[in-house]
Structure 1
Amino acid sequence: MTTVPETLGGRRLLYIDDDPAFGRLVERTLARKGIEVVFAMGGDDGVARLAQGGFDVVALDHFMPGKEGLEVLSEIRALPDPPPVVYVTGADEGRIAVAALKAGAADYIVKDVGGAFFDLLLASIEQAVAKECVRRAKEAAEREVREQRDRAEMLLREVNHRVANSLQLVSSLVSMQKAVTEEPSARAVLVETQSRITAIAQIHRRLYTSPDIRAVSMDAYLRGLIEELAAAMQAQGESHVLKVSAETIPMPTDKAVSLGVIVAELVINAVKYAYPAGEGGEVRVILVRENGAARLVVEDDGAGWRGDEPASGSGLGTRIIKTMASTLQSGLEFDAAHPGTRVSLRFPVDAAAEEEHREAG
Structure 2
Amino acid sequence: MNVRILYLDDDAAIVRLVQKALGRSGHTVIHAEDLDAALQHLGNDAFDAIVLDHYLSNMTGHDVLNRLRAEGIVLPVVYVTGSNEAQIAIEAIKAGASDYVIKTVGDDFMPLLASAIEQSVANAQLRLAKERADEETRLAKERAEALLAEVNHRVANSLALVASLLRLQISNSENDQVKAELSETQARITAIAGMHRSLYTSDDVSRVEMNIYLSNLLGEIGGSLGNPDKVIKLSFDADPISLSADRAVSVGMIVTELVTNAFKYAYPLELCGEIRVTLKAVGGNEALLTVADDGIGIEPNSKPKGTGLGSRIVKSMSAALGPGLQYRNTHHGTIAEVPIRIVP
> Which residue matches 2:324?
331
Q: Is the 8 A contact 2:225 2:260 kept in 1?
A: no
- Residues of 2 paired with 1:95 and 1:119: CA distance? 23
- Residues of 2 paired with 1:294 and 1:329: CA distance? 10
User: How far does residue 166 in structure 1 lie from its aligned partner after superposition?
Assistant: 1.0
User: How far does residue 210 in structure 1 lie from its aligned partner after superposition?
Assistant: 1.1
Say if 2:247 is the partner of 1:260. Answer: no
User: How far does residue 53 in structure 1 lie from its aligned partner after superposition?
Assistant: 6.4
Say if 2:318 is the partner of 1:321. Answer: no
Q: Decide whether aligned partners of structure 1 residues 87 and 226 sit closer, same or farther in structure 2, where only a CA change above 3 A counts.
A: same
> Which residue matches 1:214?
206
Task: State the TM-score, normalized to the length of structure 1.
Answer: 0.87
User: How far does residue 278 in structure 1 lie from its aligned partner after superposition?
Assistant: 7.5
Q: Is the 8 A contact 2:222 2:234 kept in 1?
A: yes
1:170-210, Cα deviation, whole Å (9 max, x unpaired): 11111111111111111000010011001111111111111
Give the stretch that moved more between structures: 95-104 or 27-36: 27-36
Give the stretch that moved more between structures: 231-240 or 268-277: 231-240
Q: Decide whether aligned partners of structure 1 residues 277 and 198 sit closer, same or farther in structure 2, where only a CA change above 3 A counts.
A: farther
Q: Decide whether aligned partners of structure 1 residues 140 and 223 sit closer, same or farther in structure 2, where only a CA change above 3 A counts.
A: same
Give the AA of the match of 1:344: E
> Which residue matches 2:118?
126
User: How far does residue 67 in structure 1 lie from its aligned partner after superposition?
Assistant: 2.7
- Residues of 2 paired with 1:103 and 1:230: CA distance? 64
* Equivalent runs, 1:7-18 vs 2, <5 Å: 7-8=1-2, 11-18=3-10
Q: Is the 8 A contact 1:85 1:107 kept in 2?
A: yes
The number of residue pairs the alignment matches comes to: 343
Which blocks of at least 5 consecutive residues in structure 2 are unaligned? none
Q: Is the 8 A contact 1:244 1:284 kept in 2?
A: yes
* Equivalent runs, 1:124-163 vs 2, <5 Å: 124-163=116-155
Which blocks of at least 5 consecutive residues in structure 1 are unaligned? 1-6, 353-361
User: How far does residue 32 in structure 1 lie from its aligned partner after superposition?
Assistant: 5.0
* Equivalent runs, 1:346-357 vs 2, <5 Å: 346-350=339-343, 352=344
> Which residue matches 1:344?
337
Q: Is the 8 A contact 2:229 2:271 kept in 1?
A: no
- Residues of 1 paired with 2:231 and 2:327: CA distance? 25
Q: Decide whether aligned partners of structure 1 residues 18 and 99 sit closer, same or farther in structure 2, where only a CA change above 3 A counts.
A: same
Give the AA of the match of 1:340: G
Q: Decide whether aligned partners of structure 1 residues 217 and 307 sit closer, same or farther in structure 2, where only a CA change above 3 A counts.
A: farther
- Residues of 2 paired with 1:209 and 1:97: CA distance? 53
> Which residue matches 2:235?
243
- Residues of 1 paired with 2:241 and 2:135: CA distance? 30
- Residues of 2 paired with 1:231 and 1:78: CA distance? 62
User: How far does residue 46 in structure 1 lie from its aligned partner after superposition?
Assistant: 3.3
4+ residue runs of structure 1 moved beyond 6 angstroms? none
> Which residue matches 1:40?
32
- Residues of 1 paired with 2:259 and 2:232: CA distance? 10
User: How far does residue 115 in structure 1 lie from its aligned partner after superposition?
Assistant: 4.7
Pick from 308, 329, 349: which aligns with 2:301? 308
- Residues of 1 paired with 2:89 and 2:54: CA distance? 10
Percentage of pairs with the same residue: 45
- Residues of 1 paired with 2:194 and 2:202: CA distance? 12
RMSD over aligned Cα atoms? 2.3
Q: Secondary structure at the match of 1:281?
A: strand
> Which residue matches 1:355?
none
Say if 2:142 is the partner of 1:189. Answer: no
- Residues of 2 paired with 1:280 and 1:51: CA distance? 81
- Residues of 1 paired with 2:22 and 2:323: CA distance? 73
User: How far does residue 159 in structure 1 lie from its aligned partner after superposition?
Assistant: 0.9
Give the stretch that moved more between structures: 37-46 or 203-212: 37-46
Q: Is the 8 A contact 2:8 2:32 kept in 1?
A: yes
- Residues of 1 paired with 2:239 and 2:39: CA distance? 54
Say if 2:21 is the partner of 1:22. Answer: no
Say if 2:158 is the partner of 1:166. Answer: yes
Give the stretch that moved more between structures: 187-196 or 109-118: 109-118
Say if 2:247 is the partner of 1:227. Answer: no
- Residues of 1 paired with 2:191 and 2:223: CA distance? 13
Give the stretch that moved more between structures: 189-198 or 136-145: 136-145
Q: Is the 8 A contact 1:76 1:82 kept in 2?
A: yes
- Residues of 1 paired with 2:152 and 2:300: CA distance? 36
- Residues of 2 paired with 1:131 and 1:74: CA distance? 21
- Residues of 1 paired with 2:222 and 2:271: CA distance? 15
Q: Decide whether aligned partners of structure 1 residues 192 and 289 sit closer, same or farther in structure 2, where only a CA change above 3 A counts.
A: same
Q: Decide whether aligned partners of structure 1 residues 341 and 20 sit closer, same or farther in structure 2, where only a CA change above 3 A counts.
A: same
1:69-112, Cα deviation, whole Å (9 max, x unpaired): 12322333444351101010112333323332333322211223
- Residues of 1 paired with 2:271 and 2:73: CA distance? 71
Task: State the TM-score, normalized to the length of structure 2.
Answer: 0.91
- Residues of 2 paired with 1:45 and 1:112: CA distance? 26
